[in-house]
Amino acid sequence: MKILVYSSKNFEIPYIEEANRKKHQLTFTKEVLSSKTAIKAIGYDAVSIFSADEACFITIEKLKEFGVKYITLRSAGYDNVNLRAALRSDIRVANVPEYSPNTIAEHAVALLLALNRKLIESNDRINRYNFNLDHLIGFDLNKKTVGIIGTGRIGTVMSKIMHGFGCKLLGYDIEHNAELVKNYGMTYASLNDLCAESDIISLHVPLNTETHELINKDLIDKMKDGMILINTARGSIINTKAVIEGLKNGKISALGIDVYENEKGIFFKDHSRDIPKDNNLMILNAMPNVLITGHHAFLTDEALTNIAETTIINLDSWASGKESENELTEIN
């Protein structure tokens, strides 16, 4: 098949080419898929997209018109794809449901440790030959209460890591994980109770109508004073303005995020020579108790390998006339 790979990054191309082994005709473009760039897919059987691409209703309609029959995502999340429109247009969609839960969970822990032990600020001081230790005090994770919102694949790994630190685990999810309850001492609680009791909260839920701005002012007001919030899931799960207010009034002592509510059009590009236009991002960047990484929690050799291999497996299935085991439907 002929595949146009949108939003291709230099670091991922070798992984995709290695997994493909010249089976499919791949064309890489740095362009982001949108209703304007969909025209580039004329003559292709399939497109491969990433989280920054937009496969909305209009884009799907155009892809159908241009003869595209398949969309394979190089991500687990698929909130950027209008599945209803794709099904109606007979365009089949598949994702990478599990590329490496350890990768994301370990990044969340890295954010937490760096914030708690003030590693960035400490290193900045050392770079200026300032060895003063004032205002660098952290705390032991041992015996602290960690709230895990979303105990699926990634949340499970995060829970096990925090259990290793000797933390008490509180969980919130529609489905309870019996393994975490039995072997790791997790207690499931209501969202309000979890927020009231947790010293640290880590988010691991998908973005949907139920989780959009789940972390809002009302919920933040219920949180334990001085808690730490970590988000490696999706940016829009938190209301950025409400979180900024929580940081200002001390309800949230530190924030670690790999995703941002308005990251589209900002992340994955070099804006170092641009004048910043996003006020909330400017405020967060200016806060010493905020650590932001640019949606790179997935950036490990293992995860990139798995993403590439699963992407090609999806294409192989379709090329042979079979349904991919990772295929998405409206009811997913």
| Active-site annotation, residues | 234, 263, 295
CA–CA dist 71, 81 (Å, integer): 9
Alpha-carbon Rg for the chain in angstroms? 21
CA dihedral in degrees (9, 10, 16, 20; nearest 10)?
120
